[in-house]
Amino acid sequence: MPERHILHIDMDAFFASVEQAANPRLRGKPVIVGGNRSYRSVVATASYEARAFGVKTGMPLGEGLRLCPQAILIPGDTAKYADTARRIFTLLNDLSPAVEVFSIDEAFIDLTHVHGPLSPPAPPMGLPRRPTFGGCPGSVADPVEAAYLMKAMIRHHFKLTASVGIGPNKLIAKLASGLKKPDGLVWIPQAQVQAALENLPVDELCGIGPRTKGHLLNLGVTTCGGLAQIPIRLLHQKFGIIWGDLLHKMSQGVSESPVVPYTQAPEAKSMGHSHTLNHDARDREDIETTIQMLAEKVGRRLRRDKMQGKVVTLVVRLAGFETFVRQEVQPAPIDSGAAITQAAMAIFDDMGWRGRPVRMLGVSAGALTARGVRQLELFEEERGERRLIEALDRIRDKYGERAIAPATLAYSQVWDDHYALKGHGRLTPRAVIRESPPEADPLLRGES
End-to-end, the C-alpha distance of the chain in Å comes to 67
Question: d(Cα 348, Cα 360) in Å, to the nearest integer?
Answer: 13
Q: From the options 3.30.70.270, 3.30.1300.10, 3.40.630.30, 3.40.50.300, give the CATH code of 1-188.
A: 3.30.70.270
Counts of helices then strands in the chain (DSSP H, E): 16, 14
Contact assessment for residue 141 and residue 150, using Cβ atoms and an 8 Å cutoff: no
Q: Which fold has domain 198-251?
A: DNA polymerase; domain 1 (1.10.150)
Distances from the Cα of 130 to the Cα of 138, 148, 149, angstroms: 9, 7, 9
Residues designated catalytic: 106
Instruction: Kindly report the CATH class assigned to 270-440.
Output: alpha beta
Burial 153-165 (b: 16+ CB within 10 A, else e): bbebebebbbbbb
Give, for all 448 residues of the chain, the pLDDT tens digit. 678 899 999 999 999 999 999 999 999 999 999 876 655 678 989 999 999 999 998 888 999 999 999 999 998 888 899 999 999 999 998 878 889 888 889 999 998 866 555 544 444 434 444 433 333 333 445 889 889 999 999 999 999 999 999 999 999 999 999 999 999 999 999 999 999 999 999 999 987 888 789 999 999 999 999 999 999 999 988 888 878 888 999 999 998 888 888 776 556 678 899 888 877 888 888 899 999 999 989 998 888 888 889 899 999 988 777 788 888 888 888 888 889 999 999 999 888 787 888 988 999 999 888 875 444 344 444 555 666 677 766 766 666 655 566 656 655 655 555 554 444 433 444 444 443 333 333 333 333 3
What are the structural domain ranges in the chain?
1-188, 198-251, 270-440
Same fold, 1-188 and 270-440: no
Strand ranges, E, within 341-426: 358-370, 404-406
Interstrand relation of 6-11 and 162-167 (parallel, antiparallel or unpaired): antiparallel
Question: d(Cα 8, Cα 282) in Å, to the nearest integer?
Answer: 42
